[in-house]
């Protein structure tokens, strides 16, 4: 299905179009990361409707738009977004592969302090894996950590 | 887009009329059903991902952000088996600016007796408000 010309259309309207017209895509990828020594490992689960948008192309804004909005929100005098137009007016991303979509999602939904320095330090702070590589039961879920013995692929 | 209707008012023959502002502003802008046991999103609108933070603790990340953090949220939790004695709240040990932002909401489900938490099979969140 051809994506309509969406630049200038509110992102929410685009997502409603996608929900109506695209088949959700359940990704097997999961991103495991640790952002606090006081908390267990977290697992990022891609949304199937969002993944369908990423694979389709022409719907989602570039990830830097979210970073700009996050910068605005981090200002002490922030009241309300005044640059929301970036979500709607910026040229949408072309179709991504599933792997590219996961990289985009990492940069959107995982703290920058994690993904910018994921492999610095004594052990990795973030790992992309398949769902079946997670422990098969949720036993001791709140004690899950990324293994020290992990062999990292380039 | 095909099928687009532009109207400021909807009028019923006998029941009166309502401006479409109410329809637009009154619609849920984000909703999600997350199965923590299966670690998957079962249904959603305007969600980019869900982060499983631990037992009964998730973060709902939005695609189209809200204008600010003054949106309204409601939640519902349920289990495949019995023991439905839970409620959903913001994260208990974080300040609101951390668990509630324009682009995400972190929610926690708690047992009413507060003796233990459990993975939520049917973790539902719905958000209403003005989008950016």
pLDDT single digits (tens) A5-57: 999 999 999 999 999 999 999 999 999 999 988 899 999 999 999 999 999 99
Q: CB contact, 8 Å: A141 with chain B?
A: yes
- Nearest CA of chain A to the CA of B24: how many Å? 11
Could you please report the per-residue DSSP string of B42-75? Answer: EEEESEEEEEEEETTEEEEEESS-BSSS--EEEE
Q: Please state the length of chain B.
A: 132
Q: Is the pLDDT of residue B116 over 90?
A: no
Q: What is the pLDDT of residue B84?
A: 77
> In this structure, is residue A154 part of a structural domain?
no
How many separate domains does chain A show? 1
Q: What is the pLDDT of residue A154?
A: 52
- Nearest CA of chain A to the CA of B14: how many Å? 31
Are the Cβ atoms of A81 and B102 closer than 8 angstroms?
A: yes
- Residues from chain A that touch B103, judged by Cβ atoms under 8 A, are 66, 69-70, 73
Are the Cβ atoms of B47 and A80 closer than 8 angstroms?
A: no
Q: What is the pLDDT of residue B112?
A: 72
pLDDT per residue as tens digits for the range B62-99: 999 999 999 999 999 888 877 777 888 888 888 888 89
Confidence of residue A152 (pLDDT cuts 50, 70, 90): low
Please state the rounded mean pLDDT for residues A126-136: 94
- Residues from chain B that touch A46, judged by Cβ atoms under 8 A, are 41, 48-49
Q: Which residue of A has its CA nearest to B37?
A: A138
ipTM: 0.95
- Provide the b/e sequence for A13-35 (b: ≥16 CB within 10 Å): ebbbbbeeebebbebebbbbbbb
> In this structure, is residue A6 part of a structural domain?
no
User: Taking Cα atoms as reference points, which of B25, B32, B96 lies closest to residue B61?
Assistant: B32
B52 → closest Cβ in A43, A48, A108: A43
SS3 B25: helix
Residues 6+ apart with CB under 8 A from A23: A52
Q: Which two tokens stand for residue A116?
A: 């910018």
Mean pLDDT of chain A: 94
Are the Cβ atoms of B34 and A30 closer than 8 angstroms?
A: no
Q: Which domain holds residue A41?
A: 11-141
Q: What is the pLDDT of residue A22?
A: 98
> In this structure, is residue A3 part of a structural domain?
no
Confidence of residue A149 (pLDDT cuts 50, 70, 90): confident
Query: Residue A115 — φ and ψ, nearest 5°?
Result: -75, -20
> In this structure, is residue A39 part of a structural domain?
yes
Q: What is the pLDDT of residue B115?
A: 61
Rg (CA), chain A: 17
User: Taking Cα atoms as reference points, which of B97, B95, B114, B96 lies closest to residue B56?
Assistant: B114
């Amino acid at each position: 299905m051809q994506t309509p010309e969406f630049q200038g259309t509110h992102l929410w309207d685009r997502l409603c179009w996608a929900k109506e017209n695209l088949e959700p895509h359940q990704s097997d990828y999961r991103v495991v990361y640790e952002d606090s020594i006081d908390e267990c490992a977290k697992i990022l689960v891609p949304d199937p409707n969002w993944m369908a948008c990423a694979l389709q192309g022409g719907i989602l804004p570039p990830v830097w738009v979210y970073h700009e909005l996050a910068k605005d929100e981090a200002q002490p005098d922030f009241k309300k977004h005044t640059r929301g137009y970036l979500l709607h007016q910026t040229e949408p991303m072309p179709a991504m592969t599933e792997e590219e979509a996961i990289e985009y999602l990492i940069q959107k939904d995982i703290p920058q302090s994690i993904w910018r320095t994921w492999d610095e330090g004594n052990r990795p702070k973030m790992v992309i894996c398949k769902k079946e590589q997670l422990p098969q039961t949720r036993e001791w879920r709140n004690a899950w950590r990324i293994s020290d013995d992990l062999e990292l692929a380039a | 887009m095909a099928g687009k209707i532009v109207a400021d008012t909807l009028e019923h023959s006998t029941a009166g009329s309502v401006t479409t502002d109410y329809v637009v502003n009154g619609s849920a802008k984000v909703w999600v059903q997350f199965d923590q046991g299966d670690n998957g999103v079962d249904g959603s609108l305007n969600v980019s991902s869900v982060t499983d933070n631990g037992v009964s603790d998730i973060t709902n990340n939005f695609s189209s952000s809200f204008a600010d953090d003054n949106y309204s949220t409601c939640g519902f939790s349920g289990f495949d088996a019995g023991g439905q004695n839970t409620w959903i709240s913001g994260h208990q040990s974080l300040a609101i600016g951390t668990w509630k932002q324009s682009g995400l909401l972190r929610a926690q489900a708690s047992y009413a007796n507060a003796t233990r938490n459990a993975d939520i099979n049917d973790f539902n969140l719905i958000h209403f408000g003005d989008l950016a």
